[in-house]
Amino acid sequence: MLFWIREIAGWLLVVLSLIMVRLATTYVASPESPRIVEASVVMFGAMVILRMGILLIRISTAARICLAEQTRVENKKN
Amino acid sequence: MKPNSSCHDAEPKVWQSLYLMLLCLIGTCFLWALADGVEVRTPMNLIFLGLLILTLKRWTAALMLGIVQAYLYVQDVPSLHSDPVTLSVEFFRILLITLMVLCVSRFRALNDGDDPSILAPLKATLQGMVSRERAVVVSMRSNVQTFVGWMLRTVLLISLCAVVAETVLTMFPVDPRSGTTIREFRLKPNGYRALMMSVTLFGLVLPLILLAGELVWRTMSAAQARTYQRSIFLGLLHTDLRMILFRRQKLRRSRQRPQERPADPTPPNTLLMSESQE
C-alpha cells in the first residue's frame, strides 16, 4: 500500500510540474510583454519537481517488483 | 581528539564550543543591526532569530535554509541606485544571517546526540580551561588558531557570494516602480518566434517521453529493480560511501589504462614516427 501511495504522490508531482510548464508557456506566450525571466524560473522549478516525481515513481515501481519477486520465492519455499 | 588538525581533516569536537561562542557573538551583532525604525520588521527578525537558535536542538539545515529564504523574501530589496550605506547595511545583515546558519549547521554536525544539553560541550571546555587541564588548554590554543584561519577563509568566501547575490537581487528588485525591472527585457521577433516554437515543442514532447519512459520502466526484471534500489538508496542515504566508490572506480580505470596500451597492435614508437612524418 505504501508503494502505491508513493507512486500516486510521484504522479501528482509530475502533473504539478506539467502545470508549471504550461504556466511558463503562458508567461512567454503574451507578445505584448513576454516574461522570459519569470518563465525560465518557473520552468527550472518545474524541472526539479518533475525529476523528484519521476524518482518517486521509479523507486516505488522498482520496490514493488522486488517485493513481488520476494513473495514469489517465499511461496515456492512454503 | 587531535590537537593539531588542518581544516581538511574532520573538525575537532572542541570546535563545537567555538561555533556556539561565535553564534552568540554574531547573534548579538544581528540584534544590534536590527533597529531601523520599522515596527513590523523587528518582531519578525526576533522570531527568525528564535527559530534559528531553536535549530541548535530541534531540526536540520533544510528548514534553516527555508527560514532564510522566507526572511529574504519579506525583506525590502534596495535598488542599485540606493545610497552605499543602505547597501552595506543590507550586505552586513545577509552576511550575519549566513554566518549564523553556518555556525548552527556545523554545531549540529559535530553534535553526536549524547550531549544532554546544548551548553554541555561549552561547559566542559570552560571547566577544563578554568581548572587549567593541560590537555584542554593545549587543544584550545592550537585549535583556536586553526579555527580562526578557517573562519576567515569561510567569511571571505561567504562575502564574495553575498556580494554576487546582492548585485543580482538589486538588479531585479521586487518592486517594479523602484528602477529597472525584469519586464523591460525584450526579445527580437525572430528570437521570440524560435523561443515560442521550442517551448511549444517541449510542452508537447515532454508528456510523451514521460509516458514512454514509465511504460518501459515497468518491464524491468527483478534483478534490475534490486540494482536500481541499491544504487538509489546508496546515493540518498550514504553519499560519502558513493563518493568513495566513484573515486575507487576512477582510480581502477586509470590504473587499467596503461596496462591496456600494449594490447594496441601499433607499437608506440611506430605511432610516434608516423605522427611526426604527418
Of A8-12, B173-177, B178-182, highest mean pLDDT? A8-12
Nearest by CB: B185 against A14, A18, A37: A37
A-chain residues within 8 Å CB-CB of B220?
62, 65
Query: Mean pLDDT of all residues in chain B?
Result: 71
A-chain residues within 8 Å CB-CB of B192?
31, 34
A-chain residues within 8 Å CB-CB of B200?
25
Q: Provide ipTM, 2 decimals.
A: 0.79
Nearest by CB: B229 against A29, A34, A63: A63
Whether residue B232 and residue A55 make contact (CB cut-off 8 A), yes or no, is yes
Return the DSSP state at A78: -
Q: What is the tens place of the pLDDT at every residue in B198-223?
A: 888 888 888 898 899 888 888 888 89
Chain A residue with CA closest to B201: the answer is A25
Quick one: average pLDDT of A53-73? 90
Flag whether pLDDT at B88 surpasses 70. Answer: yes
For B214, B220, B231, the CA distances from B228, given in Å and listed in that order, are 15, 10, 5
Shortest Cα–Cα distance, B234 to chain A (Å): 13
- In this structure, of A20-29, B61-70, B164-173, B176-185, the range with the lowest mean pLDDT score is B176-185
Nearest Cα neighbor of B16 from B107, B118, B102 is B107
Flag whether pLDDT at B10 surpasses 60. Answer: no
Nearest Cα neighbor of A10 from B212, B214, B237, B233 is B214
* Coil/strand/helix, residue B187: coil
Flag whether pLDDT at B25 surpasses 60. Answer: yes
Flag whether pLDDT at B9 surpasses 60. Answer: no
Chain A residue with CA closest to B207: the answer is A18
Contact B228, A62 (CB under 8 A): yes
Q: What is the tens place of the pLDDT at every residue in B101-125?
A: 888 878 877 776 665 677 777 777 7
Q: What is the tens place of the pLDDT at every residue in B92-102?
A: 777 787 788 88
